[in-house]
Amino acid sequence: MRRDKRGEDEVVVDRVACTAHGVCSVVSNGAIELDEFGYPVPSRLTMGRRDARELVAQCPARALLIARDR
Amino acid sequence: MSLVALLDDAGLTGRGGARFPTSIKLKSALETGADLIVNACDGEIGVHKDALVVAEHLDALQHGADLLARRVQWAAHRGSATERRLRNAGLRVLPVPSRYVASEESALVSLLHGGRARPIMRQAPISTGGKDAQGRRLRPTLVLNAETVWRVSQIERHGAAWFRGYGTAEEPGPRLVTMGGNVDRPGVYDSEAGVPMRDLLEAAGAVDVRGVGISGMSGGWLRGRDAWAATWSDAGLAPYGIPTGTGAVHVLGRSACPVDHLAQIATFAAGESAGQCGPCMFGVPAVASQLERLADGVLPAEEMLDLHHRLGMLPGRGACRFPDGVSRFVASGLRTFSAEVDAHLAGECVLMQERAGATR
Ligand code: SF4
Ligand code: SF4
């Protein structure tokens, strides 16, 4: 699990699974912007661990994942 | 000396375009007991070198594969002469659909495990194995381009010093280059990093050169005058923002409209996207349709901003690097042929002007 001292996680978008529901944009209060086709612009985003978990749980397509270390 | 150390000494990097050190890939493959897929698909447009390696160096190629892994599969496009040759030699062939991204590394691994020939979204290198979206377990798999495997066998036979006798210190070894487009003698040439591009162009009989496309859809463009003066190496092409990549050189003559050519390739690309990832599935066709209108001279100049914005949105947003390549390829073309692009925006193709000028 990628996690730094401030208790942050990195959320990554599974591009194959994402179906452009746009829920992530709403849940993240716009931190995740959507492109003209409704897909999230950033492929990874660092945020507090709790926010990250919340966001991952809300994606209806299960397209958001917590980044694993290589 | 171990094969890993030998390949490290030789400085062999993947000849499929990505240029990753082969010794590092092999080291992790040996640790995980990975299977080997020899990729003989020539997946990039304008590349024919894997076919040549199979046709002319199959014994050495097989020897290289045997050095690298116990279990080997041979990936070739279904129905190709290469597939036939491999089968006739009694090798285990993995028939690959002739789609652009079907021969991408993770797509081949997926296909080998009974999945579709489509790239897999992953967080760790596909070579270490893992699971696909359907939960299929993927064995650790080493995927190497056919030319790379042939070079391994040559290095084992002739040594690292022999290999380093070709190319430059940073980009050592012999390399195959596929010459095509507006040339008298298209085909695969023995070459190496550091040679003048003029030598390659002259060998293939290029005379009339408006521009040169390097490495198909994963590369970019040079203007004719720059191509005659450039050095064939990643370092030599770096000022133009393009890599030697897969080693394809496509000559565009003066009578060819580069904008039209870009539009054609982008439209082809739009049909080749594996249709899995939204940003690629919608972004590439959107780019292609704008290019088509540009080629037809009906794209309003204001829309160029949209086009560049869309190109900027493609990289890093797919399961594979296909959209990244398309973005770079198109952006490079628009930059290289800016004079022709401006003429199209004005509704007048340079070629039409030239033709009119010639008859005046
Ligand atoms: S909520 Fe999930 S499916 Fe919807 S746009 Fe965001 S990542 Fe994609
Ligand atoms: S990025 Fe494009 S080509 Fe690659 S897997 Fe996704 S949809 Fe297919």
B358 confidence band (pLDDT: 50, 70, 90) = low
Q: Is the pLDDT of residue B202 over 70?
A: yes
pLDDT of residue B120: 85
DSSP-derived 3-state class of residue B348: coil
pLDDT of residue B30: 92
Asked if B147 contacts B42 with a C-beta cutoff of 8 angstroms, the reply is: no
Asked if B279 lies within 8 A of A67 by C-beta distance, the reply is no
Asked if B124 lies within 8 A of A70 by C-beta distance, the reply is yes
Asked if B313 lies within 8 A of A41 by C-beta distance, the reply is yes
Option in A12, A39, A67 nearest B278 (CB): A39
Asked if A15 lies within 8 A of B277 by C-beta distance, the reply is yes
* Out of B23-37, B81-95, B109-123, B256-270, least confident range: B109-123
The third-level CATH classification (topology) of the domain covering B3-162 is Rossmann fold (3.40.50)
Write down the residue that tokens 């565009």 correspond to.
Answer: B252
Helical (H) or strand (E) element with B329: helix B322-336
* Out of B101-105, B165-169, B180-184, least confident range: B101-105
Tell me, yes or no, if B53 comes closer than 8 A to chain A by beta carbon: no
The third-level CATH classification (topology) of the domain covering A8-66 is Alpha-Beta Plaits (3.30.70)
Q: A22 vs chain B: nearest CA distance in angstroms?
A: 12
pLDDT of residue B35: 93
Asked if B278 lies within 8 A of A68 by C-beta distance, the reply is no
CA dihedral B293, B299, B303, B306 (to 10 degrees): 10
- Cβ burial B25-38 (10 Å sphere, 16+ → b, else e): bbbebeeeebbbbb
pLDDT of residue B350: 65
pLDDT of residue A7: 85
As a whole number of angstroms, the distance between CA B12 and CA B233 comes to: 15
Helical (H) or strand (E) element with A46: strand A44-48
Residue of A18, A28, A43, A54 to mutate, ligand 1, most atoms within 8 A of C-beta = A18
User: Average of pLDDT values for B46-56?
Assistant: 94
A70 confidence band (pLDDT: 50, 70, 90) = very low
Q: Is the pLDDT of residue B360 over 50?
A: no
Query: What would the pLDDT profile of A14-67 be if each residue is shown by its tens digit?
Result: 999 999 988 999 988 888 999 999 999 988 889 899 989 999 999 999 999 998
User: Average of pLDDT values for B119-135?
Assistant: 77
Tell me, yes or no, if B326 comes closer than 8 A to chain A by beta carbon: no
Tell me, yes or no, if B28 comes closer than 8 A to chain A by beta carbon: no
Q: Is the pLDDT of residue B167 over 90?
A: yes
* ipTM value for the complex: 0.86
Task: Read off the amino acid at residue A8.
Answer: E
DSSP B172: B
Sign of CA dihedral B323, B270, A40, A52: negative
Tell me, yes or no, if B37 comes closer than 8 A to chain A by beta carbon: no
Q: Is A8 exposed, middle or buried (0-12, 13-18, 19+ CB in 10 A)?
A: middle
Asked if B133 lies within 8 A of A16 by C-beta distance, the reply is yes
Residue of B281, B321, B326 to mutate, ligand 2, most atoms within 8 A of C-beta = B281
In CATH, the number for domain B165-253 is 3.10.20.600
Q: Is the pLDDT of residue A68 over 80?
A: no
Check pocket membership of B323 for ligand 2, CB cut-off 6 A: yes
Q: Which residues line ligand 1 (CB under 6 A)?
A: A 13, 18-24, 40, 59, 61, 63-64
pLDDT of residue A25: 92
Q: Is the pLDDT of residue B153 over 60?
A: yes
* Ligand 2 atom with minimal separation from the B318 CA: 1
Q: Is the pLDDT of residue A2 over 50?
A: no
Residues of B in contact with A70 (CB under 8 A): 123-125
Of the candidate CATH numbers 1.20.1440.230, 3.30.1360.120, 1.20.140.10, 3.50.50.60, the domain formed by B258-358 belongs to 1.20.1440.230
Domain parsing of chain A, residue ranges: 8-66
User: Average of pLDDT values for B11-17?
Assistant: 91
The pLDDT mean for chain B works out to 91
Asked if A61 contacts A4 with a C-beta cutoff of 8 angstroms, the reply is: no
Q: Which residues contact B2 (CB under 8 A, 6 or more apart)?
A: none
Give the pTM.
0.89
Residue of B101, B121, B126, B317 to mutate, ligand 2, most atoms within 8 A of C-beta = B101
Q: Is the pLDDT of residue B143 over 60?
A: yes
The protein residue with its alpha carbon nearest to ligand 1, atom 8, reads: A18
Q: Is the pLDDT of residue B172 over 60?
A: yes
pLDDT of residue A5: 54
Check pocket membership of B326 for ligand 2, CB cut-off 6 A: no
Check pocket membership of B320 for ligand 2, CB cut-off 6 A: yes
Domain parsing of chain B, residue ranges: 3-162, 165-253, 258-358
Q: Which residues contact A15 (CB under 8 A, 6 or more apart)?
A: A39, A43, A63, B121, B276, B277, B278, B279, B280, B317, B318, B319
User: Cα(B318) to centroid of ligand 2, in Å?
Assistant: 5
